[in-house]
Amino acid sequence: MKTACESKNIKEVIEMSKKPAFNPYLPSWEYIPDGEPYVFGGRLYVYGSHDFYNGYVFCLGDYVCWSAPVDDLGNWRCEGVIYERRADPMNRDGKMCLYAPDVTVGADGRYYLYYVLDKTSVMSVAVCDTPAGKYEFYGYVHYPDETRLGERGGDEPMFDPGVLTEGEKTYLYSGFCGRGDKSRTGCRAVLLGKDMLTVLTEPVTVIPGCEYSSGSGFEGHAFFEAASVRKIGERYCLIYSSEVMHELCCAVSDNPFGGFVYGGVLISNADVHIDTYKPADMPMACGANNHGSIVELNGSRYIFYHRHTNGTWYSRQGCAERLIKKPDGADGLFYQAEMTSCGLNGGPLEGQGEYPAYLACNLFTEKHTLYVGDANAPKIMQDGRDGDKETGYIGNIADGTTAGFKYFDCKGISKASVSVRGYAKGKYLLRTKWNGDILAEIPVEFSNVWETYSAECLIPDGVNAIYLTFSGDGNSMLKSFALE
Tell me how far apart the alpha carbons of residues 229 and 207 are, in angstroms, rounded to a whole number.
12
* Rounded CA separation 202/114 (Å): 19
How far apart, in Å, do the first and last CA atoms of the chain sit?
31
Task: Tell how strand 124-128 and strand 136-140 pair up.
Answer: antiparallel
Is the link from the previous residue into 407 a cis peptide, with omega within 30 of 0? yes
- What is the DSSP secondary-structure string of 335-381? PPPPP-S-GGGSSPEESSEEEEGGG-SEEE-TT--SBS--TTS-EEE
Q: Is position 12 annotated as part of the catalytic site? A: no
Q: Shortest CA distance to 386 belongs to which of 97, 61, 52, 49?
A: 52
Whole-angstrom distance, CA of residue 454 vs CA of residue 152: 66
The span from the CA of 34 to the CA of 32, in Å, is: 7
| 45 close to 131: Cβ distance less than 8 angstroms | yes
d(CA 316, CA 319): 10
Beta strand segments in 6-140, E? 36-40, 43-47, 63-69, 77-83, 102-105, 111-115, 124-128, 136-140
Interatomic CA distance for residues 61 and 187, integer angstroms: 26
Chain length of the chain: 484
Three-state SS for 429?
A: strand
Active-site option among 34, 88, 102, 156: 34
The pair phi, psi for residue 13, each rounded to 5°, is: -65, -45
| Other CB atoms within 10 Å distance of the CB of residue 374 | 14
Q: Which of 102, 211, 225, 338 is catalytic?
A: 225
Of the CA atoms within 13 Å of residue 387, those in its CB half-sphere come to 5
Pairing of strands 462-474, 379-381: unpaired
Element (H, E) at 190: strand 186-192
Decide if 34 is catalytic: yes
Strand partners, 174: 188
- What percent of the chain is helix, strand and coil (3-state, nearest 5)? 5, 45, 50
Residues recognised as catalytic: 34, 225
